[in-house]
Amino acid sequence: MSELSHTNDKGKANMVDVGSKPDQVRTASAQGRIFMKKETLRLIKENQLKKGDVLTIAEVAGIQGGKKASELIPLCHPLQITKLDVKTELNEDSVSVKSFAKCIGKTGIEMEALTAVHIALLTIYDMCKAVDKEMEIGEIKLIEKNKSDL
């Protein structure tokens, strides 16, 4: 079988070849928020929603989502994740989600950090949609990404 060209013709998709890059310690953190009614926030705080403990389930879902980034995003490389942490926090008008991801590899881990935040926020939406039809997910962004030699 012939080797494919690494050039990308318009309309074609290619996964970037990172094989010759050195392994490095790579980290990334991301954040986002879901805005909702004060009554919904109260129900979350008091653990009164029918589906259960919203914040704990969202954190676990975020970790699961971050681990699946390469399965969800077509040209995202699968990585050997060494740490993935997702934290939620109740605010006056929203729930904020922050993630931290770490790996040793040849390419960055920001997609895993961003996916973790997205999935955690979507989980909160799913768990609260029966009581709040006006929720809005937003402010999702990469906070930081770093790499350092081993």
Residue 99, both tokens = 């993630």
Exposed e or buried b per residue across 17-37, where buried means at least 16 C-beta atoms within 10 angstroms of its C-beta: eeeeeeebebbbbbbbbbbbe
Q: Does 85 qualify as catalytic in the annotation?
A: no
111: Cβ contacts below 8 Å, ≥ 6 apart: 69, 70, 73, 76
Which of 85, 126, 132, 149 is labelled catalytic? 126
1: Cβ contacts below 8 Å, ≥ 6 apart: none
Half-sphere exposure of 14 (CA within 13 A, CB side): 12
Q: Which residues are catalytic?
A: 126
